[in-house]
A and B are shown apart, each in its own frame.
Chain A
Amino acid sequence: MRRALACALIAWLGFPALASAQLFFRRDAPRAGSAELGAAVVWSGGFDQGSVSADETRNSTTDTSPFTLFTASSRTESVTGAQGRVGVYVSRAFSVEAGVEYGRPTVSTRLANDAESAQDITATETLTRIIVDGSGLFHLTGLSFNGGRGVPFLRAGGGYVRELHEKNEVIDTGSEFHAGGGVKLWFGRGKHRTGFRLDGGAMFRTDGADAPKKRRTIPTAGASIVFLF
């Protein structure tokens, strides 16, 4: 009796959803050639740039290690920015997209350990960060939910990082690769519809305004309004 009830619940909860999803992807899923526009609020995590010391050459008769005048430890703070995207569906499951992201992260540099006891302070600078990227998205249609309106996806790609220091007179460039996933929630079924998209993942970036320059792994997240047409 209990087993029969469980099967009935599955039939009631699950079968209509699966049927709806199949219907959605047969009739209403984005087709090859469909385009998608998105406007996002994106968040990038902060990361430590490391520490450098202002050293002088030691008189070898007194010691062999450098004489440190002070140390500088920098961190790029997390930042919330904006992103615009345009994508094209190559098939019902696969799309490619290009995006431009804009943000203004603060770089904080802690100055400490001064040889003459200058007070420790944090010096700051604000960067203007622009990332132009391209990505491939694989939509996990088999995991769609909410009647096919919710579609998880995986995303990976790479891009160009351009960071302008204050006054925009010094520019540092770099590259990034990213990987992650998310979900799209469509509000309708038609060929033209609006939706909501959530992204999460990691960015692996090299160069840019970092000092010293190393590969950084940065968590990322985003929320966007998307339009399909």
Chain B
Amino acid sequence: MKRVAAILFATALVGGATAPVAAYLKLGARVGGRTVTLRWPQMPIRYFVTDRGVPGVSSTQLQQAVTRAFATWDAIATAQISSTFVGFTLADPRQGDGATVIGFQNRPELDRTLGATSFMIDTTNGSIIEADIFLNGSFAWSVASSGEANTFDVESIALHEIGHLHGLAHSAMGETELRSGGRRVIAAEAVMFPIAFSPGNISGRTLKADDIAGIADIYPSTSFTRETGSISGKVTKGSQGVLGAHVVAFDMRTKKLIGGFSLSDDGSFVIAGLDPGPHIVRVEPLDDGDIDSFFDATLNIDVNFKSQFYNKVVVVPRGGGTSNVEVKVVAK
């Protein structure tokens, strides 16, 4: 069995994107010429916490916050996931020792990275063998129940990184604005949005519909398959497919925003995990600054088109799918 540390994802606080809105994306790996979704082959996920605190957060408080974050994911009824805290360890995360470790590391050189998740995967089938999360100890942290000014919330950032640990990539369901030295989040509707809320904010402790649909798509429960549906189709510009377009489905009854990306050259997309009923479909380009937060930078992601609504209300059936939704966009 060939094992290789495959992927690293970061959560940057002061970097980001201006306006995109999109949805969950799953981490993938190339196996035998095809892309497979990264996922844990069995549950529960057994994790350790590094027995090291930072100013304002002891290792015990870190472990409690991490356990709460795992429990938030574990509580999703439509996903079959679970986790177990094994114990404290003196080992650092990212050691590639087969143990899943979460802990603080002082990484001042990563001045825009609050935390990151690295994986060791089985390259024969995409199974995750080990995943490690570090939280950058060079930032100020807090576990205060209501948040604390000028500090980042451990539970919120852990929740995001644990999403990666499960196999979720970034969502673009959010808006940012340019600021001196980077970008600031205006709003987000996914914990998996790549840029965190400002210090003192604890909104990131609550999973959104997009996060829930994403994790359930990777680890579906029986009820997920039975009770939700999907929308599939294409995004086209002229006669060509659009690669990397954000396609968002809005449930007018529940107000949930869930989406996907067109992931092939012909512009095909699938959005799963939708509640049955009528949806609005909206397509928009990824902002240039965002692309490497979502896709391999070598891909030819098309961002030269205007945001566009689909001209029909799309009805999602329970336990099935609505296909052939073609959204035709035009160049900017």
A residues near B (Cβ < 8 Å) are: 52-63, 66-67, 69-70, 72, 74, 107, 109, 111, 114-119, 121-125, 165-167, 169-170, 209, 211-212
- Answer whether A114 and B276 are a contact pair too, CB < 8 Å, given A66-B187, A74-B252, A169-B317: no
Instruction: Indicate the member of B307, B318, B320 with the most A CB atoms within 10 Å.
Output: B307
The answer on a CB contact under 8 Å between A125 and B187 is no
Tally A-B pairs: CB < 8 A: 135
The answer on a CB contact under 8 Å between A60 and B203 is yes
- Answer whether A114 and B315 are a contact pair too, CB < 8 Å, given A165-B278, A211-B252: no
Of chain A, the residue at the smallest CB distance from B208 is A57
Chain A residues in 8 Å Cβ range of B276: 170
8 Å CB contact of A70 from B187, B277, B282, B312? B282
- Least Cβ–Cβ distance between A196 and chain B, in angstroms: 38
Chain A residues in 8 Å Cβ range of B177: 62
The answer on a CB contact under 8 Å between A169 and B315 is yes
Cα–Cα, bound, A117→B312 (Å): 19
Of chain B, the residue at the smallest CB distance from A120 is B309
The answer on a CB contact under 8 Å between B187 and A58 is yes
The answer on a CB contact under 8 Å between A60 and B197 is yes
- Least Cβ–Cβ distance between B202 and chain A, in angstroms: 9
Of chain A, the residue at the smallest CB distance from B315 is A165
Cα–Cα, bound, A107→B252 (Å): 13
Listed from nearest, the 9 A-B pairs whose CB atoms lie closest are A67-B187, A169-B317, A125-B313, A118-B307, A56-B187, A56-B189, A61-B198, A165-B315, A116-B307
The answer on a CB contact under 8 Å between A119 and B280 is no
Chain A residues in 8 Å Cβ range of B197: 59-61
The answer on a CB contact under 8 Å between A62 and B184 is yes
Tell yes or no: B306 within 8 A of A by CB.
yes
Instruction: Indicate the member of B187, B200, B208, B276 with the most A CB atoms within 10 Å.
Output: B187
Cα–Cα, bound, A53→B175 (Å): 16
- Least Cβ–Cβ distance between B231 and chain A, in angstroms: 13
8 Å CB contact of A109 from B198, B280, B282, B315? B280
- Answer whether A167 and B322 are a contact pair too, CB < 8 Å, given A119-B308, A125-B278: yes
- Least Cβ–Cβ distance between B69 and chain A, in angstroms: 18
Cα–Cα, bound, A175→B318 (Å): 22
Cα–Cα, bound, A44→B198 (Å): 52
Cα–Cα, bound, A167→B318 (Å): 12
